[in-house]
Chains A and B, each alone.
Chain A
């Protein structure tokens, strides 16, 4: 491809598509979209070299609102699809996004294995502690006593996942928590995440004004972590455990071996394999 003839889009809006989001007014996901486009513009990544893979749910619609390559797949499997793409096409910058239900419930197995596999990609969970697309059910990050869903009228009675802690124990090499009330901070975090070699996990606290209107108060509860980013998993786990889940920042960063299969010479001939069958 002729790189010289290709203008690099440098404005965030160049990374947006013409499609109008399905999101409700006030939804935090708009800010995630803005943060992503800002990060891509900052990194000056050619649109065609970025692939944005998502699952199913309100937040997973985000791929269609960008102008990079994308895949809006099935519920919970975005990380698997992205892992196949990255395995086959290591040259691409791979972004993955979805909601807390998509990533931690139906896609929970893929999440822990993607952390462990540590392929070079960035995964954003847009966490609003609720299933929005299906009209307000509890997710794996919902508090046990949230009783506003008809599906679990007494609340789930189950303690929620702590996504950052889960990512840490599963082996993620970059773990951050951002907030949609601070899109510039989130964009900076995403720049770091994309530049990090390995699996980068970013939990974006993204309020749902429709089914969790009380989350509009998050802007008064969220604050930055006092400590700097650590590369010590013990320290990171203590920090995550001691926190109420509302502190933001890059919590953990460490270089682990990156999984990238293949890459051998590829000069094999079919004849040499067929000769194995010859008696």
Chain B
């Protein structure tokens, strides 16, 4: 490894499910944070409930990173039982380092044949000699030493993670870590090779450590969500599990519903009661919710729906990522149903976008769909504390007691004050039937037109400010993207910039309503546009074609999951286009 790589290392820890690869990866990332580094970690699982295979994919860098790199510099294999399963996910190069246990058997030809560098350490045997010692903690020690980390904080981190399991496990894990950290085989190997040097951290401020699901959860709390109803679904369940106890701490609650039809209707009921409410789901559950989202639009009840997208259609690939529910989010509601669709661009943006969505839904009394995906949701980042400032947004307009109250009264903005049950004199019946200004059901053309206009106007005339997109850099080439592919696009752009190719990156955060004028202004002087997305049918490209007038020459990089797009793929695409 040369010194340039020393600041940016991608490594994988693989093993059978239950071997503790994920725990080792998480601890390594935390330790990286304590050593002044940034990083991220993706978990990769097979479909098995228990057993099967698991891999922690970790990237550690001196500068903040938000996506995985193209190749892995280091693979630590606790065993080789699932080497084939991970072959397409963990791409090695001839210089990659392999740390393996000789007791685990022969290194597969597919890996050994690459000309990789191999260090053999009997992790299992070393662990056995320590009471309650486990090979994954030996592995953690080996990696921490290899990376040149100071081990001071390791004992405390291990206590935090294993404290619940009792003293014996904590002591055994700490001893195994020390054993790995001081193991002569790794010490000698490190001295004999070019190795990563810790160097001086470029950033000394506060670091945050969280995954995209937690980011969305925090954004929801910041936005004021105090009620959630949901049905378990991968990969949204961890968001809900994170939220449930924390909502209670705020005096709110999360109800596990009997299905997604119930979840979204419970959300509408609670929001009708005056409490900011949300649900979170993934593609199949989102499909079930679309009818009631139409109800929320028609009855003008604020509701936030987070869709943590996964591979589809149908049950698809629940544990992997794709940006494939854009069509459904934009077009999936029945009738003419103006609503909001926002996409979180990276981990920090999960917080911003969800908070903004809650505030917009409350202010505009409509449905806000937040699109996240498995890639963001189940990967953990170690980044500088996210900071952002949202423009001031009015809270939900609440009606005063009024004997002549009209729930759906015509207003200039299209937003009508909402009476909250319990308010004397302003009783009304919220309705999914088309209605008059008072809420009385009506089939009259004039009433229909008036209410359609009102519901459209409040969403389309609102000033969303600068947050409609995240724009970085300048150049004659622009890459337009959305959602979790943004991180790979940004990294590709910085690689291109490093070699003199300036690229402008436009990542759309607000997808509906569309901002055609704003995008057109940003594309002034741009001669070609690469559209990047993770969808087989190029849903984002088609969406851009439907809502925007892009005068520049366009090209599309649209490929399906399950593997996330990497910066190298995007760089290649730009270079091939020349």
A residues sitting closer than 8 Å to B (CB atoms) are 1, 6, 17, 19, 46-49, 51-53, 61, 63-64, 66-74, 76-77, 80-89, 91-92, 109-110, 113, 261-268, 270, 273-274, 277-279
Interchain CB contact (< 8 A) of A84 among B270, B427, B440: B270
Cβ A69 vs Cβ B427 within 8 A: yes
Which of B208, B252, B423, B431 makes the CB contact (< 8 A) with A277?
A: B208
Residue of B nearest to A74 (CB): B295
Nearest CB on A from B315, distance (A): 20
- The residue that B266 contacts in the complex, of A63, A69, A83, A267, with Cβ under 8 A, is A83
Interface status of B33 (Cβ within 8 A of chain A):
yes
Give CA–CA (A46, B277) in the complex, Å.
Answer: 26
In chain B between 256 and 282, which residues have their CB closer than 8 angstroms to a CB of chain A?
Answer: 257-259, 261-263, 265-275, 277
The answer to whether B222 has its CB under 8 Å from any CB of chain A is: yes
Q: With A73-B432, A92-B273, A110-B258 in contact, do A279 and B382 touch (Cβ < 8 Å)?
A: yes
The distance in angstroms between the C-alpha atoms of A228 and B257, with both chains bound, is 35
Given A110-B262, A266-B251, are A73 and B429 neighbors across the interface (CB < 8 Å)?
no
B254 at interface, CB cutoff 8 A: yes
> B429 touches which one: A48, A64, A267 (CB < 8 A)?
A64
For residue B94, CB closer than 8 A to chain A, the reply is no
Decide: A84 near B266, CB < 8 A? Known: A64-B441, A73-B432, A278-B385. Answer: yes
- Assess whether A87 is in contact with B295, with CB atoms less than 8 Å apart: no
Q: Is B265 a contact of A81 with CB atoms below 8 Å?
A: yes
Task: Decide yes or no: A74 and B421 within 8 Å by CB, A68-B427, A87-B255 being known contacts.
Answer: no
Complex Cα spacing A274 to B273, Å: 28
What are the residues of chain A within 8 A of B266 when measuring CB–CB? 80-81, 83-84, 87
Q: Which one of B209, B227, B229 lies within 8 Å of A279 (CB-CB)?
A: B209
B292 close to A77 (CB less than 8 A): yes
Decide if A262 touches B262 in the complex (CB within 8 Å).
Answer: no
Q: How far is the CA of A66 from the CA of B247 in the complex (A)?
A: 34
CB pair B207–A71 under 8 Å, yes or no, is no
- The yes or no answer to B248 lying at the interface (CB within 8 A) is yes
Contact A92 B262 (CB under 8 A): no
In the complex, A71 Cα to B222 Cα: how many Å?
Answer: 28
A19 to chain B: which residues have CB within 8 Å? 440-441
Complex alpha-carbon distance, A92 and B422, angstroms: 7
Point out the residues of chain B lying under 8 angstroms from A52, CB to CB: 429
Known A268-B249, A268-B250; judge A73-B265 contact (CB<8 A).
yes
In the complex, the answer to whether A273 meets B246 with C-beta atoms within 8 Å is yes
Which label, helix, strand, loop or mixed, suits the secondary structure of the B interface?
mixed
Q: B269's contact among A53, A64, A66, by CB below 8 Å, is which?
A: A53
List the A side residues contacting B34 at CB < 8 Å.
279
Is the beta-carbon distance between A270 and B222 smaller than 8 angstroms?
Answer: yes
Query: A189 vs B504: C-alpha distance in the bound complex, in angstroms?
Result: 70
23 interchain pairs, CB-CB under 8 A = A1-B424, A48-B422, A51-B273, A71-B429, A72-B431, A73-B265, A73-B295, A77-B265, A80-B257, A80-B258, A80-B265, A84-B229, A87-B253, A88-B269, A88-B271, A88-B273, A88-B277, A89-B274, A89-B422, A264-B251, A274-B218, A278-B206, A279-B33
Contact A64 B440 (CB under 8 A): yes
A71 touches B422 (CB 8 A): no
Q: A1-B422, A84-B265 are in contact. Are A262 and B270 (CB under 8 A)?
A: no
Q: Which of B196-230 contact A (CB under 8 A)?
A: 206-210, 214, 218, 221-222, 226-227, 229
Contact B422 A265 (CB under 8 A): no
* Set A74, A77, A86, A278: member contacting B207, Cβ < 8 A: A278
Selected contact of A81 from candidates B218, B251, B253, B269, CB within 8 Å? B269
Contact, CB under 8 Å: A84 / B428: no
Q: Does B171 contact A (CB under 8 A)?
A: no
- Tell me if A71 and B299 are in contact (CB < 8 A): yes
Q: Which B residues are CB-close (under 8 A) to A92?
A: 273, 421-422
- Does B291 interact with chain A (Cβ within 8 Å)? yes
Q: Top 8 A-B pairs ranked by shortest CB distance? A: A266-B251, A84-B266, A262-B253, A84-B269, A88-B270, A70-B429, A80-B265, A261-B253
Which residues of chain A have C-beta atoms less than 8 A from B299's C-beta? 71, 73
CA distance A71 to B257 in the complex (A): 20
Closest chain B CB from A48 CB (angstroms): 5
Complex CA gap A73/B254 in Å reads: 21
| Complex CA–CA separation, A261 to B272 (angstroms) | 17
Chain B contacts to A: CB under 8 angstroms: 30, 33-34, 206-210, 214, 218, 221-222, 226-227, 229, 246-255, 257-259, 261-263, 265-275, 277, 291-292, 294-295, 299, 382, 385, 401, 419, 421-433, 439-441
A249→B86 CA distance, assembly (Å)? 65
B293 to chain A, nearest CB (A): 10
Interchain nearest-CB distance for B106 vs A (Å): 39
Distance to closest chain B CB from A6 (angstroms): 5
Q: Which of A80, A91, A92 has the most CB of B within 10 A?
A: A80
Given known contacts A83-B266, A85-B270, A273 and B227 CB-to-CB distance under 8 angstroms: no
B424 contacts which chain A residues (CB < 8 A)?
1, 6, 46-48
Contact A72 B432 (CB under 8 A): yes
> A70 CA to B433 CA in the complex, in Å?
13
Q: How far is the CA of A67 from the CA of B218 in the complex (A)?
A: 39
Closest to B429 in A: A70
- Given A1-B423, A68-B427, A83-B255: A73 and B249 interface contact (C-beta under 8 Å): no
In the bound complex, do residue A277 and residue B214 qualify as a contact, i.e. CB atoms below 8 Å apart? yes
Nearest residue (CB) in A for B425 is A48
Residues from chain B with Cβ under 8 Å of A279 in the complex = 30, 33-34, 207-209, 382
**Bound complex: CA A63 to CA B427 (Å):** 11
Taken together as a complex, chains A and B put the C-alpha atoms of A92 and B270 apart, in Å, by: 12
Docked-complex contact A84 and B227, CB < 8 angstroms: yes
Scoring B30, B258, B274, B432 by chain A CB atoms within 10 A of each residue's CB, the highest score goes to: B258
Query: CB distance B248 to A262 under 8 Å?
Result: yes
Which chain B positions have C-beta within 8 A of A49? 421-422
Q: Which residues of B contact A277 (CB under 8 A)?
A: 208-210, 214, 218
Q: How far is the CA of A61 from the CA of B429 in the complex (A)?
A: 10
- A63 to B259 alpha-carbon distance, docked (Å): 25
The smallest C-beta distance from A30 to any residue of chain B, in angstroms, reads 18
Q: Are A63 and B251 in contact (CB under 8 A)?
A: no
Of A72, A84, A274, A278, which contacts B267 at CB under 8 A?
A: A84
- Shortest C-beta distance, B76 to chain A (Å), equals 22
Interface centre among B248, B266, B385, B433 (most CB of A within 10 A): B266
Query: How many Å lie between the Cα of A66 and that of B263 in the bound state?
Result: 27
Q: Which residues of B contact A262 (CB under 8 A)?
A: 227, 247-248, 251-253
Q: How far is the CA of A66 from the CA of B440 in the complex (A)?
A: 12
Alpha-carbon distance between A270 and B433 when the two chains are bound, in angstroms: 39
State how many angstroms separate the Cβ of B488 from the closest Cβ of chain A. Answer: 23
Q: How far is the CA of A47 from the CA of B401 in the complex (A)?
A: 13
Instruction: Flag if B269 contacts A83 (CB, 8 Å).
Output: yes
Q: What is the chain B residue whose CB lies nearest that of A89? A: B273
B429 touches A80 (CB 8 A): no
B427: chain A residues at CB < 8 Å are 47-48, 67-70
Q: Which residue of A lies closest to B266 (CB)?
A: A84
B258 touches A266 (CB 8 A): no
Name the one of B273, B294, B440 contacting A85, with C-beta atoms under 8 angstroms.
Answer: B273
Assembled-state Cα–Cα distance A69/B401 (Å): 13
Beta-carbon contact of B252 and A266 below 8 Å: yes
Smallest CB–CB gap between A80 and chain B, Å? Answer: 4
Question: What is the CA–CA distance of A66 and B429 in the complex, to the nearest angstrom?
Answer: 9
Report the bound CA distance from A39 to B449 in whole Å: 39
Interface residue from B33, B210, B262 paired with A83 (Cβ < 8 Å): B262
Q: Which residues of the other chain, B, contact A82 by a CB distance below 8 angstroms?
A: 269
